[in-house]
Structures are given as C-alpha cells and as structure tokens.
Amino acid sequence: MISNKNLIHFFEKNNYDLRISNNGRWIDQKCTPDVVCIVSDCILNYLYENEDDIVFSVTDIWKCDYTKENVEEIFSKPGTDHEKSVNEYDKFFSQPIELLASSNVLKKEKKGNRNFYTVNDLDMLQYISWKEKNTVEFLFIYIKKVLKDSKIWDSFSNFFEVQTQEAYLNLKEKFENYIIENTNINKPLEVRRIFSKVINPLAYKFKKLGTSRGRISKNIITYSSLMYNQENFRDLVSNKPKNITRKEWIEQKGYQINIQFYRYQSEKAKKQLKKHNISYRNGTSEVSDAYSQGEATQVHHIFPQHSHPEISGYVENLICLTPTQHLYKAHPNNNTQIIDYEYQEVLLKAKANIIQKDIEHLGDISIYEFSNVREVINKGFNENHEIENNDFVGIMNIITLHYLDN
C-alpha cells in the first residue's frame, strides 16, 4: 500500500495542463469512484491471469470471466456478451481506463483505430483498486491537480468560498467555455455531463455544496452521492433503532441489499489480507493457541458475513486462521452457519493487537485504519461507542465488557 506522501509525489511529477494536452476525456461521465475502483481491480485481475500478455484493450477487460462474475450483478447490468450492452459496456470500461491513462497510471498506445494499454504505475493501480475510499482520495488529488495545472482552479476555489446559485452558475459557465475552447469537446451538453464528476469529489472532501440535477445542491455532498450505485447500506443501518433487528429495519424501509456487492468486497478484502499476512507474518495464524500450527490458509469473518454484510469487506473484520482454528474452533463442528462466541472474543482481541502493531510499524501504508476498527466494533456489537483515535486500550475494554455482559 502506498502512502499519502507517495500519492502526492505521483501527481507532482506529472503536468496535466489541458491547454497543452487538449484532452477533453481526462475525466468522464462513468468515472465515479466505485466504477474506477472496480475497473482497476478488473485490470489487475486480467494481468495476474495473463502474465505474458501485459498489453490489453478495453474489450479484454470487459470480456474476462472475473468481470462477468462481478460487474453484471453489482451494477445491475445486462450480460457482458449481450449484443445490446456493447455500447454501454464500452463507456463503462473505456471512460475509467481513459482516466487512468490520462493520469499516467496507465500508458496508452493507438494501433489503427484501437487503443491498447500497459500499466505505468502498478502500485498506484493497486492503491486505487483496493477500496473506494482510496479511489475517492485519488480522484480528489487528480482533479485538483488538473484544475491547478490548467489555471482554472481559482474559479472552483471561489465557488467553495461563496456557496450561492450565482457563484455556481458563474463557475459552470466558465468551465464549459474553458473546456470547449481548450479541448476536443465542442458541445456544452457533453461538458455538463462531466461537470458533476469534477466538482462533487472536491465538494465532498471540502464538506461543501456541489451540483445536483444541474443546480447547486441543496445539501453538502455525501460519500454515497459520488457513486454510480448510490445505495448505501451502511448509511441505512447506521440509522437503525436499537430495539429492532437489522432484518426488520431493512424490510421496514423496503431496502434491497446488493448481496453481490458485499460478496465482491469481502473476497477482495480476503485476498488483500492473505497477501499482507504472507508479506508481514510469513503466512502464520493471527491467533496463537493450541490449534495454530501450520499455514494460515483460511480467512474468517469475525462478525459473520450473513448477519453483518456492511462490514464484511473490512480487513479489520477478517482474520487469518489455520484450517483447524477455522473449522473446529471458530465454526464448531465445521458448521459455518454458527460461531463460537467465546472464541469470537479471542479473535477480536488478537486482531486488535495485530492491527495496533501493524499501524505502529507501517504507519499510513498499513492496510488497517482505526476508524474502521471502531466501526467494526460498533456495528458488530450493535452499539455506539465514542472511541478516541488509536485508543486500543479502550477497544480492549469494550470487547471485555461486552462478553462479560452477554
């Protein structure tokens, strides 16, 4: 995982002045954080499966099995082989891939009338693909750098200071005129389609108003509003009254959980944790007990995926175990539908200790975040503890008290 310092350095060494590149496709309508994130992950998976074939096209990415297994269901799209979906999939993959090339994460080469790509910065691509939060950070710095290099940042900065409809319309007009004058885009409608993808990631990071339906937004831009899939299960369950179950609350709100999305996030997190455990712990179990001998080949959800899908993709809720630990202790009698609650306490404390050491040792390149630890504990226990940043002693006390009371 790259650090914030590496991220900033990557952008500082590139010049994105649109007056020089004349590139109107440096960002586009489909370039939402969740789409850029999953497309980056699909590229990485394609490369891992085709080690000798590092040159790829947009079609290569959307036709691979990994893409079919995930994108179709997560984004509620027709099959990637469906004849009517060709144009939609072309935009869905080509626009984020073009953004990655424009930012120099990828290199693009034109052969005839087709574009082919290679990876220019593998670490950056892995960073973007790991989680949507990383993609948001990447897009924020990228967009800001493009606007500054292109000498149009001041217009955006002024709008974030003067949050009025008049300032909004002034910015929108200036942006449209600038793009039409300096890039290969010559239609205002095309510029308007990408305007929200430029202004809203900035507004979210600055906690300001942005754009919605062609007007200044009524509210501060939220994380979920940046996404292609704007359903946000975590927002929903965070407002759940304590006296009813998640299932009852979801049914009451008429909400449909995108199970495939959480399954995909979970599997991606498992792969990341396994790689991290091999790199920093030689693939050993994260729990030292009588059953920890051998390689930790199993990745276990401390709070089960079926009951806590909203935290199923958090590495802070995953732990590497040996097969015996997983199928004898964590899931008694090899029944993966039940868990041993006494052993769950052991796993939580062991994981908290490992996360603390990892953060202290690796700093901002750690795969863990304390804010996620806090969220896992609160969501897992269905409680609402206010825990100061990096207060692992407080985390341990909360875990101990919870199991004493239950």
260/387 same-domain check: yes
pLDDT computed for residue 364 by the predictor: 86
In a domain, 281, yes or no: yes
pLDDT computed for residue 242 by the predictor: 55
pLDDT computed for residue 254 by the predictor: 54
286/184 same-domain check: no
pLDDT computed for residue 13 by the predictor: 94
3-state SS, the chain, equals CCCHHHHHHHHHCCCCCHHHHCCCCCCCCCCCHHHHHHHHHHHHHHHHHCCCCCCECHHHHHHCHHHHHHHHHHCCCCCCCCHHHHHHHHHHHHHHHHHHHHCCCEEEEEECCEEEEEECCHHHHHHHHHCHHHHHHHHHHHHHHHHHHCCCHHHHHHHHHCCCHHHHHHHHHHHHHHHHHHCCCCCHHHHHHHHHHHHHHHHHHHCCEEEECCEEEEEECCCHHHCCCCCCHHHHHHCCCCCCCHHHHHHHHCCCCCHHHHHHHHHHHHHHHHHHHHHHHCCCCCCCCCCCCCCCCEEEECCCCCCCHHHCCCHHHEEEECHHHHHHHHCHHHCCCCCCHHHHHHHHHHHHHHHHHHHHHHHHHCCCCHHHHHHHHHHHHCCCCCCCCCCHHHHHHHHHHHHHHC
73/190 same-domain check: yes
Determine the structural domain holding residue 309 and report its residue range. 233-405
201/241 same-domain check: no
206/241 same-domain check: no
pLDDT computed for residue 112 by the predictor: 87
Q: Give the pLDDT of the chain (406 residues) as one tens digit per residue.
A: 687 788 999 999 999 999 999 999 999 999 999 999 999 999 999 998 887 668 999 999 988 888 888 887 777 655 555 555 667 778 899 999 999 999 999 999 999 889 999 999 999 999 999 999 999 999 999 999 999 999 999 999 999 999 999 999 999 999 999 999 999 999 999 999 999 999 999 999 999 999 999 899 999 999 999 998 765 544 455 555 655 655 565 556 555 566 788 889 999 999 999 999 999 999 999 999 999 999 999 999 999 998 899 999 999 999 999 999 999 999 998 888 899 999 999 999 999 999 999 999 999 889 999 999 999 999 999 999 999 999 999 999 999 999 997 6
191/49 same-domain check: yes
CB 43, CB 126: distance < 8 Å: no
Domain endpoint, select from 212, 242, 258: 212
In a domain, 228, yes or no: no
What span, in angstroms and rounded, lies between the C-alpha atoms of 375 and 241? 17
63/207 same-domain check: yes
In a domain, 356, yes or no: yes
What span, in angstroms and rounded, lies between the C-alpha atoms of 372 and 312? 12
pLDDT computed for residue 250 by the predictor: 56
106/194 same-domain check: yes
253/351 same-domain check: yes
pLDDT computed for residue 234 by the predictor: 46
203/246 same-domain check: no
pLDDT computed for residue 99 by the predictor: 98
In a domain, 220, yes or no: no
pLDDT computed for residue 244 by the predictor: 60
58/192 same-domain check: yes
Domain tally, the chain: 2
Instruction: Read off the tokens for 234.
Output: 């975590």
In a domain, 224, yes or no: no
Instruction: Read off the tokens for 191.
Output: 């510029």
197/273 same-domain check: no
In a domain, 223, yes or no: no
In a domain, 168, yes or no: yes
